[in-house]
Structure 1
Amino acid sequence: MGGTEHLTVHREGATLVLTLNRPEAKNALSPAMLVGLYDGWTEADEDDSVRSIVFTGAGGSFCAGMDLKALAGQGMAGDTYRDRLKADPDLHWKAMLRHHRPRKPVIAAVEGYCVAGGTEMLQGTDIRVAGESAVFGLFEVRRGLFPIGGSTVRLPRQIPRTHALEMLLTGRPYTAREAADIGLVGHVVPDGTALEKALEIAEQVNACGPLAVEAVKASVYEAAELTETDGLAAELARGWPVFDTADAKEGSRAFAEKRPPRFKRA
């Protein structure tokens, strides 16, 4: 199991938990964090015993965005991390879920600040839980910058366009309740319990057939870029093979026998 000084990795049953771990900087992104994230997504993709991923931050914050000083290597150790970023110029975008979509469901557990690059990474997750005091926002335009982590493309596809444009063009902060009202997050829970709720959802995902779960996730994202007719055809292409799996037969048998299913990814 991987991890770096700014990104911890641990297992909770079939869930891989990735935790941004630079609380003194509100988990602003650093080379060590980006490399750790990339390795974490890769581990989850390659390990069939991982059924879901929970993505969170340590110290009461999710992520305050990019730390430009750290990314430039000023005042921080970590030549190995910078060498890896140079060797793969796309690594940071994969780490931030701009150029990579994990095949397992990703559940975000947000406390505190989730702004700029934090809100951009959030858009690469599938299910989102926020503590009541969480703060969201794309502040880039207030600094004369552009939210280049994918927000001008993804945000209008995930929430109504008028809300997406207001968030993008005003650069103002949003409360957790506002984020839920516009559909950016799905759950608002008492502060300090976002991770607990995310793990509860992960357990519900983990109890389902893994082949079915992964096929459903892939179908949803694939269909989003297709016409309805093409999307329905693509759904059949992904869905019918699931019915032929041993897991599908086990699920039906377990239901008839009134017991929990024992899925084997087969």
Structure 2
Amino acid sequence: MAITHEDPTTLVLIETRGSVRIITINRPHKRNCVNGPTARALYQAFLDFETDSTASVAVLTGAGGNFSAGADLAAIQNQDDANPLSSDWPDTLPGPIGPMGPTRMTLSKPVIAAISGFAVAGGLELALWCDIRIVDTTAILGVFCRLRGVPLIDGGTIRLPDVVGRGVAMDLMLTGRAVKAQEALRIKLATCYPSSYETVSETNALEQAVALAETLAKHPQICMRGDRLSTHFSRPIREAMLKEFELGMESLTSGEFMQSIAQFFAKKETARL
């Protein structure tokens, strides 16, 4: 398979609006799938956000109408493009890089996901890492990797039940079905701004998220960040994610996974003909 070389400096775009930092995954031709270079760029972007005293709230989004369709499965065939896969997790903040980039980080400041289009598989894991998920009418969320034999390996099995409850999480994780924006509001997987679990906003998710971020940036920061961080520390996630990673690696090294991926790419190639 031919490898398309991309400019690593454009994989993630950074924009500053006052005290709001907008971080955009910029691989629209791949529905913002994340490969190794993109994961590293995302990690660095959030590391810079964390250490920048002028930035109070971050918004994570995707270019070209999609949030992220997950890990780039084509990257597994090229070592330079492969996502980071390591069980090395030193017990120091803000935390190490994860397969999707920042998903093992614990930041001191809030992050909002602005979801238009697909936020599925690893893309859903990225969204779940964020503190708040904002959707618009185009949003589609789901554990689509279930259909490809690809495990949730970056916090999805831990964070999804925390957000929507074990029963709903099991439904989504085992079926791999699509969750459109209105249902995402109903099951409290996402919201709109101004806050609503009733009606999906027609306003673009990024515009909503930036408005919310600007509101959060006006709050007394020490108090807000302390309450937020206390919530993150109320449940040790490191050990749970390491167990998830161990089980996921068993799946990734299995014959079932390689067969599923081969079938996936064979179907894509046939569709091109």
Q: Settle same-fold status: TM greater than 0.5.
A: yes
Preserved contact between residue 129 and residue 198 of structure 1 (Cα < 8 Å): yes
Output the CA distance in 1 between the equivalents of 2:97 and 2:47. Answer: 13
Output the CA distance in 1 between the equivalents of 2:138 and 2:146. Answer: 23
Cα displacement (A) at 1:89: 6.5
Match status 1:61 vs 2:66: yes
2:201 equivalent among 189, 198, 201: 189
1:48-80 CA-partner distances (Å, limit 9, x unpaired): 111000000000000001112235438xxxx5x
- Structure 2: state its 5+ residue gaps: 1-7, 90-95, 193-199, 238-273
| Distance change (3 Å), C-alpha of 1:144 and 1:54 | same
Preserved contact between residue 141 and residue 169 of structure 1 (Cα < 8 Å): yes
* Max Rg structure: 1
Preserved contact between residue 84 and residue 98 of structure 2 (Cα < 8 Å): no
| Distance change (3 Å), C-alpha of 1:183 and 1:41 | same
Cα displacement (A) at 1:225: 5.4
- Structure 1: state its 5+ residue gaps: 227-266
Output the CA distance in 1 between the equivalents of 2:236 and 2:124. Answer: 22
Match status 1:205 vs 2:252: no
Match status 1:147 vs 2:149: no
2:131 equivalent among 115, 123, 126: 126
- The equivalent of 2:185 in structure 1 is 180
The amino acid across from 1:126 in the alignment is D
Cα displacement (A) at 1:10: 1.3
Output the CA distance in 2 between the equivalents of 1:86 and 1:136. Answer: 24
Cα displacement (A) at 1:92: 4.3
TM-score normalised per structure 2: 0.73
Preserved contact between residue 16 and residue 52 of structure 1 (Cα < 8 Å): yes
- The equivalent of 1:102 in structure 2 is 107
| Distance change (3 Å), C-alpha of 1:17 and 1:71 | farther
Cα displacement (A) at 1:140: 2.4
Preserved contact between residue 94 and residue 100 of structure 1 (Cα < 8 Å): no
2:98 equivalent among 93, 108, 117: 93
| Distance change (3 Å), C-alpha of 1:113 and 1:178 | same
The amino acid across from 1:40 in the alignment is A
Cα displacement (A) at 1:41: 0.9
Q: What is the number of equivalent residue pairs in this alignment? A: 217
| Distance change (3 Å), C-alpha of 1:225 and 1:39 | closer
Cα displacement (A) at 1:160: 2.0
TM-score normalised per structure 1: 0.74
Cα displacement (A) at 1:20: 0.5
